[in-house]
Structure 1
Amino acid sequence: MSTSKTKDKYQIAVVPGDGIGKEVMEAAIHVLDALDIDFDYVYGQAGDECLEKTGSALPDETLEIIRNSDACLFGAAGESAADVIVKIRQEMRMFANLRPVKAYPNTNSLSDDIDFMIVRENTEGLYIANEESYTDDGAVAKRIITREAEERIIDYAFKYAKDNNKSKVTGVHKANVLKKSDGLFKDIFYEVAERYPEIATEDYYVDATAMYLITKPESFDIIVTTNLFGDILSDEGAGLVGGLGLIPSANIGEDAALFEPVHGSAPDIAGQGIANPIAMMLSAVMMLRHLGENEAADRFDNAILKVLSDANILTGDLGGSATTMEVAEEVKNNL
């Protein structure tokens, strides 16, 4: 996912969004500003509050800011999430959604050895939201699976495994029932696997995968799957390692990249300053690696690990009583 450093200054689109998105974004930027990197932040609006204020959940100006930036940091969207983040992914052709699931100290992880990446196809499947309503009693949603998109995401997963010294890729589908669409996915998975003979392969049905994530999560390295399945499994993965407050993500395309925590806007705790900023910070770490700023990414990542290991300054979801910005300050002090 990372690239070689090519710039001395980066333009970063910052879209805080709704609810705790604003709070965790402030925390992440607080730490980013302590790194020796020249960032030019350009702020954009999106989400429920933007919809109420402007009549659009995702104004054209925000899309243009993202399009013209080296990367985008996104906080969270509320009820308008499908009209915001899904649309950004589609407009920017961000075909790969990366969701790392990793055990950290003092986070009530199911196992200390959990460390895998979910590589999720981002542009088709059920999330194109192509629905037809027939009567009040029923409706139809079309699930689109194409060879082009699935071969692209599967190849991306194998390349990611190779570049990050991962030894196995697991394809996840439901080909026993969805014989044409997921049958195609499975066929393509093994076709692509032939190009990477050094990487072990296996495939599971999505329901079996859901079970194996509980019974043997340490056995996974890279999971590649379709849009809906990847979304569901990544939330299950969050439950394995302490919750959504610890799961970052990246959306990668040919010409654009967006980094966001997996969690939503959490309106029940918004404005209280108690949201866990770790997922947003880890998303910023992913952004740094994408930009080729690996030394800074390591510093940021290690500072987060130190704070979690010490367990003195943690938010309530991890058993502590610290505020969002107290955690940010502690991470900054440990850079």
Structure 2
Amino acid sequence: MIKVSLAKGDGIGPEIMDATLSILNAAGADLTFEEIEVGEKVYLSGNSTGISDEAWETIRRNKVLLKAPITTPQGGGYKSLNVTMRKTLGLYSNVRPCRSLHPFVTTKHPEMDLVIIRENEEDLYAGIEHQQTDEVVQCLKLISRPGCEKIVTYAFEYAKKYSRKKVTCFTKDNIMKQTDGLFHQVFDEVASRYPEIINEHWIVDIGAALVADSPEDFDVIVMPNLYGDVVSDIAAQITGSVGLAGSANIGEECSMFEAIHGSAPNIAGKNVANPSGLLNGAVMMLNHIGKSDVAEKIQNAWLRTIEDGVHTNDIYDPIMSTKRVGTKEFAEAIITNLGNKPKQLPEVFYEDNTPLVLPKYQRKPSKTKNVVGVDLFVDWNGYDANVLADQLKKLNNEALELSLITNRGVKVWPNGFSETFCTDHWRCRYLAKDGEDLSKESIIDILKSAISNNIDAIKTENLYTFDGVRGYSLGQGQ
């Protein structure tokens, strides 16, 4: 018997979890649950992480967590426990199937059946932010080759396992050529190993527009963390309701399964919440742990219940629905339908009863790394970049000289435009005079000179080449 960690969550969490457990038990899932408490009560008890050490140990011991939505208290600087759990446990892949249930659930896209696979650990969700000047804060966008390779490989293996025909990548590498550029590059590399699967790439803004307009053109979509968060909610909503979608978070060791919606405290305790999202997350869990026969039985019963028009309030329609029911009654209707299959909606059939397991990432040989300059970030409350440049040239030394000043990424010196609005945050680029590898002492000398010249240096970023290829962006307009 498999043991699963269980978190009933906050708000509507306990209600939809009880409904889900009743269906799992009735379907013969044969699981043992070990309950933990996470979320709002733990936060408010004085634990700023929202989870105890004992709960962490339970999750790590059982390897599988079924979690209802939780509430992060407002104010107080509390970090999202959902993000913390995904990153701490190495749950690098977020999987969200989005399938329309036309005509039983209202949608403008009756043929929609796609899966969004989102990188889950890095990107802007690293949560590394700093206020650097009175007017400017920064958030670091971190994209790694291991992160890209793991998520893209997972997307292609998922497509292969579940007989999907195409994998699409969304990035914004026309602007973020280093970070999103790496994601796109790795996508092309991995795609070449799966010639039987169609691959394509879209810039994320037009890609998201196409998902909203013609989602039937997509099959599996893989993308970095932030885009995936946004686009997956869009996709879930246009199927008919965010409340229907489940989500899997997969790592090399542990996994977590949940609904994609929040804890909805305004309807908690009223027996009106739709448990479908958590139930579909539980179905994904059953597939993951090799109980695909039970997953198939439950999902077909759920589809049949939707077809029968037995609907909770969020999807109730006077034309297509036959009965408006509460949380418990909806679960009871699904239990009654166990063993039945849908008549109009395509029934599900999970042929492979084994979990999807990928090999561990193997680090590539290191490239030759040379430092060729430094970006010095300066807090200065003037407006004329030429005046600032005159001060910054005093920092030039035998190895480095000022070559560029940007403000919010836009070149303002040399030959900047007076129309460019400037804040008090300036990136000042010093490059090696001979273009060769520098000693880092020359960068330290720049910082010492900044102090002596009363220039407020708030940050430095070394500029590198890797096997001779520039590893930093140019200024906009450069």
Normalising TM by the smaller chain, what interval? over 0.9
Match 2:56 to one of 48, 63, 88? 63
Q: Hey, what's the Cα distance between the residues in 2 that align with 1:44 and 1:111?
A: 39
Name the residue aligned to 1:170. 168
SS at match of 2:265: coil
1:322 aligns with 2:317: no
- Residue-by-residue CA offset, 1:276-318 (whole Å, 9 max, x unaligned): 101111111101100111111110000100010011x211111
Name the residue aligned to 1:310. 308
* 2:65 partner letter: C
Name the residue aligned to 2:70. 77
Name the residue aligned to 1:5. none
| Paired residues of 2:72 and 2:81 also in contact (CA < 8 A) | no
Q: Hey, what's the Cα distance between the residues in 1 that align with 2:60 and 2:184?
A: 34
1:186-197 to 2 correspondence within 5 Å?
186-197=184-195
Name the residue aligned to 1:261. 259
1:21 aligns with 2:19: no
Residue 271 of structure 1: CA displacement?
1.7
Q: Hey, what's the Cα distance between the residues in 2 that align with 1:38 and 1:333?
A: 19
Name the residue aligned to 1:293. 291
* 1:45 partner letter: E
SS at match of 1:265: coil
1:33 aligns with 2:31: no
Q: Hey, what's the Cα distance between the residues in 1 that align with 2:133 and 2:21?
A: 49
Name the residue aligned to 2:474. none
* 2:62 partner letter: S
Which has the larger displacement, 168-177 or 57-66?
A: 57-66
Residue 239 of structure 1: CA displacement?
1.6
The alignment of Structure 1 onto Structure 2 pairs a total of residues equal to 326
Residue 50 of structure 1: CA displacement?
2.1
Name the residue aligned to 2:387. none
- Residue-by-residue CA offset, 1:47-99 (whole Å, 9 max, x unaligned): 11221135341111111111111411010112259431111111211110001
1:200-279 to 2 correspondence within 5 Å?
200-279=198-277
Percent identical across equivalent pairs?
Answer: 38
| Paired residues of 1:58 and 1:83 also in contact (CA < 8 A) | no
SS at match of 1:76: coil
| Paired residues of 1:158 and 1:196 also in contact (CA < 8 A) | yes
Q: CA RMSD in A?
A: 1.4
CA 1:190 to 1:295, structure 2 compared with 1: closer, same or farther past 3 Å? same
| Paired residues of 1:63 and 1:88 also in contact (CA < 8 A) | no
Residue 112 of structure 1: CA displacement?
2.0
* 1:172 partner letter: F
Residue 151 of structure 1: CA displacement?
1.0
* 1:47 partner letter: G
Residue 46 of structure 1: CA displacement?
1.0
Higher Cα Rg: structure 1 or 2? Answer: 2
Structure with the largest fraction of helix: 1
Name the residue aligned to 2:157. 159
SS at match of 2:169: strand
Name the residue aligned to 2:465. none
Residue 179 of structure 1: CA displacement?
1.0
Residue 38 of structure 1: CA displacement?
2.3
Q: Hey, what's the Cα distance between the residues in 1 that align with 2:133 and 2:9?
A: 35
| Paired residues of 1:147 and 1:188 also in contact (CA < 8 A) | yes
Name the residue aligned to 1:4. none
* 2:332 partner letter: E
Q: Hey, what's the Cα distance between the residues in 2 that align with 1:316 and 1:136?
A: 48
Name the residue aligned to 2:180. 182
* 1:104 partner letter: L
Name the residue aligned to 1:104. 101
Q: Hey, what's the Cα distance between the residues in 2 that align with 1:104 and 1:67?
A: 36
* 1:121 partner letter: E
Q: Hey, what's the Cα distance between the residues in 2 that align with 1:273 and 1:122?
A: 32
* 1:99 partner letter: R
TM-score (norm 2): 0.67
Q: Hey, what's the Cα distance between the residues in 2 that align with 1:136 and 1:59?
A: 37
* 1:325 partner letter: K
Which has the larger displacement, 45-54 or 83-92?
A: 45-54
Q: Hey, what's the Cα distance between the residues in 2 that align with 1:276 and 1:37?
A: 21
1:93 aligns with 2:90: yes
- Residue-by-residue CA offset, 1:118-155 (whole Å, 9 max, x unaligned): 11001110111011122453310000001111011101
Query: Structure 2 regions of 5+ residues with no counterpart?
Result: 317-322, 339-478
Residue 21 of structure 1: CA displacement?
1.4
Q: Hey, what's the Cα distance between the residues in 2 that align with 1:287 and 1:159?
A: 17
SS at match of 1:326: helix
SS at match of 1:123: coil
CA 1:136 to 1:26, structure 2 compared with 1: closer, same or farther past 3 Å? farther
* 1:108 partner letter: T
1:146 aligns with 2:137: no
* 1:334 partner letter: N
CA 1:215 to 1:14, structure 2 compared with 1: closer, same or farther past 3 Å? same
